[in-house]
């Protein structure tokens, strides 16, 4: 838990001041490199620097969860060499950063179809998660071989297994019941979604979980996204009124109570 009490957080979240969960599509590494006549992989290497900065800044700002889209289920379509570079970067980052994350009380969680990765990478992922699982500070979620449709489908399959084995009844199923089967089930839903790199789309990221999330798009390319860029995104978030289907007057009453 952060410096804030649970009830205070609820109020702050309702009045839109503090994001508990920030989710980011880190786009623009390739363009950043091309602008400097560098190969695309150089953009990904510098992108990792931005990851370090933003993880540390989120921890400082008492953000509870930071979810980063590192590799989508569609990214396998990229040139084989680039896929290889991204996998190597992921392995190196896991090897080099885990101790530092642990020292900073960060809990690491990887979501996505990890069976597609080489056994060595799968083992590194498992070790990193085990090593940091008791940490109580920022939860850093890395979405790797992840797709929003995949997530809904795997959740649906597991829920139907429970229906078929009669642990659940079909008639009692409601919208919220799928939540507990989703990849981020035990975490609060994202409050603030950020996409860098100028595109304004969700690209099969957290489709189910983004239902009420505030969306923020910036032209800034991911390797240029730093602490001041994050501050701009959080300021934009703080200036919005989140209504969750209620009226503006109802929200003002709750916030003022």
Contact between 108 and ligand FPP per CB under 6 A: no
Phi/psi for 8 (5° steps) reads -65, -40
For residue 48, give the nearest of 71, 78, 64 by alpha carbon: 71
Question: CA 47, 49, 52, 56 torsion: positive or negative?
Answer: negative
Do the beta carbons of residue 108 and residue 98 sit within 8 Å? yes
Provide the minimum distance between the beta carbon of 219 and ligand FPP in the complex, in angstroms, as a whole number.
12
Contact between 75 and ligand FPP per CB under 6 A: yes
For ligand FPP, the binding residues in 146-165 under the rule CB under 6 A are none
Q: Which is nearer to ligand FPP, 120 or 240 (CB)?
A: 120
Q: Which is nearer to ligand FPP, 34 or 157 (CB)?
A: 34
Provide the minimum distance between the beta carbon of 185 and ligand FPP in the complex, in angstroms, as a whole number.
21
| DSSP bridge partners of 146 | 72
Binders of ligand FPP: how many residues, by CB under 6 A? 20
Provide the minimum distance between the beta carbon of 19 and ligand FPP in the complex, in angstroms, as a whole number.
19
Contact between 114 and ligand FPP per CB under 6 A: no
Phi/psi for 192 (5° steps) reads -130, 125
DSSP annotation of 36 reads T
Q: Spot the catalytic one: 27, 29, 145, 191.
A: 27
**Segment lying near ligand FPP (by CB under 6 A), choices 2-10, 24-32, 106-114, 118-126:** 24-32
Do the beta carbons of residue 97 and residue 124 sit within 8 Å? no
Contact between 29 and ligand FPP per CB under 6 A: yes
Do the beta carbons of residue 129 and residue 110 sit within 8 Å? yes
Do the beta carbons of residue 110 and residue 125 sit within 8 Å? yes
Q: Which is nearer to ligand FPP, 18 or 23 (CB)?
A: 23
Active site residue 75: yes
Strand, helix or coil at 97?
helix
Contact between 142 and ligand FPP per CB under 6 A: yes
Instruction: State the burial class of residue 118 (Cβ atoms within 10 Å of its Cβ: 0-12, 13-18, 19+).
Output: exposed
Contact between 47 and ligand FPP per CB under 6 A: yes
Could you give the residue numbers annotated as active site?
A: 27, 75
Q: Which residues form the interface with ligand FPP (CB under 6 A)?
A: 26-31, 44, 47-48, 51, 68, 70, 75, 86, 89-90, 93, 142, 197, 222
């Amino acid at each position: 838990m952060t410096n804030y009490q649970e009830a205070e957080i609820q109020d702050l979240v309702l009045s839109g001041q503090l994001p508990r969960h920030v989710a980011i599509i880190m786009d623009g590494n390739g363009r950043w490199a091309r602008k400097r006549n560098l190969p695309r992989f150089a953009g990904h290497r510098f992108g990792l620097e931005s990851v370090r900065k933003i993880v540390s800044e989120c921890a400082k700002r008492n953000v509870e969860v930071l979810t980063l889209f590192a590799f989508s289920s569609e990214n396998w379509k990229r040139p084989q060499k680039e896929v290889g570079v991204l996998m190597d970067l992921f392995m190196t980052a896991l090897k080099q950063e885990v101790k530092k994350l642990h020292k900073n009380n960060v809990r690491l969680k990887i979501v996505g179809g990890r069976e597609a990765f080489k056994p060595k990478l799968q083992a590194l992922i498992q070790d990193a998660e085990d090593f940091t699982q008791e940490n109580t500070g920022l939860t850093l979620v890395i979405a790797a071989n992840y797709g929003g449709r995949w997530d809904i489908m795997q959740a649906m399959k597991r829920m139907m297994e429970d229906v078929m084995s009669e642990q659940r009844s079909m008639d009692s199923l409601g919208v919220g019941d799928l939540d507990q089967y989703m990849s981020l089930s035990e975490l609060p839903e994202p409050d603030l979604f950020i996409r860098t790199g100028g595109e304004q789309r969700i690209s099969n990221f957290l489709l189910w979980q983004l239902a009420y999330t505030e969306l923020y798009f910036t032209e800034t390319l991911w390797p240029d996204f730093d602490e001041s860029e994050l501050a701009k995104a959080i300021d934009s978030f703080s200036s919005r009124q989140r209504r969750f289907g209620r009226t503006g007057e109802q929200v003002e009453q709750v916030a003022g109570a």
